[in-house]
Homo-oligomer: A and B are copies of this chain.
Amino acid sequence: MNYPNGLHKKSNNVVNYGNRGMVLEDDLNVTNEYYRENDIAVIYKKPTPITIHKVNYKSRDNAFIEKASFKIPSTTDYNGIYKGKYIDFDAKETRSKTSFPLANIHKHQLKHLDSIVRHGGIGFLIVRFVTLNKTFLLMWEDIKQFIKDGSRKSIPLSYFEERGKILELSLRPRLDYLKYIEVMYEKCEK
């Protein structure tokens, strides 16, 4: 099942936000921070979409949300600008060793990526096969070509190896995905 933003369910029914499950998300947050600090790109993770039901204002600067619920996201989690280009992507982890289950992404997120690319933006997915310790970047154009009519249930690892770019971890930036975007984008310009 999908928990919002890599939350871990604990047995006592309460989620511990201090102990977050999604390492890929942390890698990307640190990387985006590096890009911003070095004025390379301005890319942020969007806040988790929620519906707020009840807020308590204790004082002027002290408001607490007492009841809220998670919303299904309409868009991907990450967007921003790089060299004048609109960048849009989502990041997913899977424990599968053989394929990436498409059930991990909402249909309207795929529709969103399609729409972004149609409007001249750069759309892609970053997928980590946790058990294999491999992270891939796969452009929306390649994903679209694979899923075609929507009857596919998953994208096999072999397709990521063939069409995607493998992202290596390094010190700074931790997961330099823009390096590959640049390469692919220059290809298109020629």
On A, residues with C-beta under 8 Å from B are 1, 3-4, 7, 9, 13-15, 17, 36, 39, 41-42, 44, 46-50, 52-58, 60, 63-71, 74-75, 79-86, 88, 112, 115-116, 118-121
Contact = CB atoms under 8 A, between A and B. Distances in A.
A122 to B, nearest CB: 10
B65 A64 contact: no
Contacts of A68: 50, 64-65, 68
Of the listed residues A15, A54, A74, A118, the one surrounded by the most CB atoms of chain B closer than 10 A to its CB is A15
B53 A50 contact: no
A81 B118 CA distance: 10
A39 B115 contact: yes
Q: Quick one: which of A13, A42, A44, A65 has the most chain B CB within 10 A?
A: A65
A56 B80 CA distance: 32
Contacts of A17: 52-53, 55
B120 A81 contact: yes
Contact of A42 (B7, B39, B67, B115): B115
Given A47-B46, A67-B64, A70-B63, A56 B119 contact: no
A59 to B, nearest CB: 10
A55 to B, nearest CB: 4
A129 to B, nearest CB: 25
Contacts of A83: 119-120
Contacts of A53: 17
A68 B112 CA distance: 28
A14 B44 contact: no
Contact of A13 (B41, B42, B56, B119): B56
Given A41-B119, A42-B112, A85-B86, A49 B52 contact: no
